Structure 1
């Protein structure tokens, strides 16, 4: 019996690639379907799509903004969506109402603190609580204003990302998200540890140093003395005061974390352009390549200018607040500590404050550092590959001052760290001349 030859052809390389694309799209469809099912069924198993990154800043900052919304900040919807087009802000939503209520309560708390300060002597230890509460109120207002502009800002950011050189490897796409999450985890953990130490110190004060017989009542009065200066003590009011104190403390630390993340996101954009330049370092490239690279660089600079217009007030507030409390804490370090718990809390708080101030300066100054890196490649362009577009690009990089600012009063560069350190030393020397030994905790 004759056997007919098979008419089935082996798939070509092009056919296999198309099949692979179809399978990948089918897998993505299954992943999206499983995500939709997971929303209705509650707990679900993780899928491959949960661990993939597209490298966008919107994706990286989403989980960080979720944490902020727990504490009444950044009331924006769609922060965990894949695309920035899903971001929306509405004044009629639970998130916004929660934030507005937080602003109102913080305003009342600040007014009560102001009343306490004006009733007492105008001393450093009395002014510090007022500065803290005013800062917490301004932080809440700044984040509420930022939430209104956030959807449009992220759309602009996403458009810039799409015009930059694509990431070459999956590690490059997940690098930004990993850095953002690591910085957030470390800073939030340290802030939580510092606050727990303050609670332990307050409990020690309430048990051993308070004239009241009830240590619980003494602890809550120490947390919110401005409240019980006017109102009679009650349990529900005491817990409300402590809850508001936790929210204010988180907002104080979260502002610095958010600014670090902004610095990371903007500097990563320059990193994408620089990676493309590093691949052609020392090679002769057509003029069109340099034109495209220069335009990409200008897009990032325009985005930085737009971001600076939104967050420059927050940067100014962060630096002023950190500078004030660093000086006050260093001044208090001269005094004797009444107990080991106070000693541990005080120096842990001082170390955290100094480290956080330094980290904010370095992460924000990284934007300026990365903006000048193209010069390292331009210097190695061969003579036969040099053109007018390269000269124009190099001139822009060398002359333009690309940096975030504090309301246009100062640029955040690496040299600012030394300037801030010098300012702290100068103020500290002046304060020490008028300083007198005092018992900060009224406990022997």
Structure 2
């Protein structure tokens, strides 16, 4: 595949992958400059919530999530390399030719522009590994941050549920409201630092899901089919995990509402009202560069977008298949002689052009007297056609100038016993000149 032949959706995968890898590395470098402030703010929040203790089982869940995601990513990456390697070894001519074919197959966007070299191959292999790790780490980073913040909100919700229906003083309600506000402010501070990473994660995953759905319409065999299904399962599962875990922060931030709605009248105070207003009107969630908030509604929107794309893709695929079938049928059809219009057909040499279609429309739907009159006008303007040999007559253009066809002439054409003399040069009376770009 020559990458420079044309930039299509299929060939954009390499540009999207390496472009997203570059942007991801740049985003984490930018985050590194802000991380001391984020860490300090997080320590202050932990100190304010010290009496809640550490969330139970959080460390184990974080380790399990990280190990699972990286293992699935490793399996997917190894399968991708095995698929390219098997094809390269099969097509190699011996020696280290398999390495050249492997690199040209794995990095067509590079080696279609520059000559192959073992050093370049090693550099781009290392770049591919780094960008693959950055892509997976980006999703893992968002998932781990979401799990920690959601666990903190869950602690506060558990305490509120434990105090449901009890009489609390205004100071106790104020302390609960301040704890909730601390978590909300911490979430906003973290989101302001990682919102660009969240946007990259969502956009990258959505793009590659659409690309995999596009590739699903192609025939696959052996290792290619195995890699496709594993890759799509890992990609789809990881995307769902990122969205659900990030949306869980917003879900947990709305957790206090059921308890606040059941506060006894004797315990109701201005602090309860303030806390209720903050829970209802303050949207606490991760955002994609402030363009959208990750909630459960967004997950349904993304799922609907993917489903719409797949339906449109299937329809376009059906249309393309129908067009190819019709074209094959047109190319295999024998020429037809239209005696009533004085027309002889010849097989098309390629796809029907606008000129060919226009010619057929004029031939089929124009009345015979009109065609005869037009022929007479062209004969009068361009002069009489010159004589031609029998061989030239057999390859003459479809429509000739001359006198209107008579009954005897039409019968002669039907029996292929006579044909009008062809013009010798373009423009000397020919209805369709020899240099017709869509000629028969």
Structure 1: stretches of 5+ with no match in the other structure = 1-115, 438-444
Instruction: Give the stretch that moved more between structures: 425-434 or 256-265.
Output: 425-434
Among 191, 198, 209, which residue is 2:80 paired with? Answer: 198
Among 79, 82, 98, which residue is 1:215 paired with? Answer: 98
Change (3 A) 1:173 1:420: closer
Structure 2 residue 119 is matched with structure 1 residue 249: no
**What displacement does 1:174 show?**
5.0
Change (3 A) 1:307 1:385: same
Tell which structure's C-alpha radius of gyration is larger. Answer: 2
Partner residue, 2:225: 343
Is the CA contact (8 Å cut-off) linking 2:55 and 2:152 kept in structure 1?
Answer: no
Structure 2 residue 44 is matched with structure 1 residue 159: yes
Give distance in 2, aligned partners of 1:350 and 1:226. Answer: 22
Among 179, 198, 205, which residue is 1:296 paired with? Answer: 179
How far does the alpha carbon of each residue in 1:219-240 deviate from its partner, in whole angstroms, 9 at most, with x for none? Answer: 1222223333344333232222
**What displacement does 1:356 show?**
0.9
Structure 2 residue 23 is matched with structure 1 residue 142: no
Instruction: Give the stretch that moved more between structures: 246-255 or 225-234.
Output: 225-234
Among 248, 256, 260, which residue is 1:378 paired with? Answer: 260
**What displacement does 1:136 show?**
0.6
How far does the alpha carbon of each residue in 1:275-309 deviate from its partner, in whole angstroms, 9 at most, with x for none? Answer: 32233222111111110110111111112111111
Partner residue, 1:410: 292
**What displacement does 1:313 show?**
1.2
**What displacement does 1:425 show?**
1.4
Give distance in 2, aligned partners of 1:164 and 1:355. Answer: 34
Give distance in 1, aligned partners of 2:188 and 2:130. Answer: 31
**What displacement does 1:264 show?**
1.0
How far does the alpha carbon of each residue in 1:348-398 deviate from its partner, in whole angstroms, 9 at most, with x for none? Answer: 001111111111110100110000111122233223222221122112112
Structure 2 residue 279 is matched with structure 1 residue 394: no
Structure 2 residue 152 is matched with structure 1 residue 269: yes
After TM superposition, list the pairs within 5 Å mapping 1:64-75 onto structure 2.
none
Is the CA contact (8 Å cut-off) linking 1:165 and 1:276 kept in structure 2?
Answer: no
Give distance in 2, aligned partners of 1:276 and 1:211. Answer: 70
Aligned length: 317
Partner residue, 2:5: 120
Give distance in 2, aligned partners of 1:181 and 1:295. Answer: 31
Partner of 1:124, secondary structure, is: coil
TM norm structure 2: 0.68
Give distance in 1, aligned partners of 2:173 and 2:226. Answer: 56
After TM superposition, list the pairs within 5 Å mapping 1:27-176 onto structure 2.
117=3, 119-164=4-49, 166-167=51-52, 172-173=54-55, 175-176=57-58
Give distance in 2, aligned partners of 1:283 and 1:165. Answer: 23
Is the CA contact (8 Å cut-off) linking 1:164 and 1:272 kept in structure 2?
Answer: no
Partner residue, 1:101: none
Partner of 2:225, secondary structure, is: helix
Among 180, 188, 196, which residue is 1:305 paired with? Answer: 188
Change (3 A) 1:173 1:251: same
Give distance in 2, aligned partners of 1:222 and 1:258. Answer: 31
Is the CA contact (8 Å cut-off) linking 1:166 and 1:272 kept in structure 2?
Answer: no
Partner of 2:51, secondary structure, is: coil
**What displacement does 1:434 show?**
3.8
**What displacement does 1:211 show?**
7.2
Partner residue, 2:396: none
**What displacement does 1:167 show?**
3.7
Give distance in 1, aligned partners of 2:98 and 2:91. Answer: 9
Is the CA contact (8 Å cut-off) linking 1:256 and 1:360 kept in structure 2?
Answer: yes
Give distance in 1, aligned partners of 2:298 and 2:149. Answer: 19
Among 63, 66, 71, which residue is 1:189 paired with? Answer: 71
Structure 2 residue 60 is matched with structure 1 residue 178: yes
Give distance in 2, aligned partners of 1:428 and 1:381. Answer: 49
Is the CA contact (8 Å cut-off) linking 2:14 and 2:109 kept in structure 1?
Answer: no
Partner of 2:108, secondary structure, is: coil
Structure 2 residue 162 is matched with structure 1 residue 279: yes
Give distance in 2, aligned partners of 1:256 and 1:434. Answer: 32
Partner residue, 1:95: none
The CA RMSD over aligned residues, in Å, is 1.9
Structure 2: stretches of 5+ with no match in the other structure = 322-440
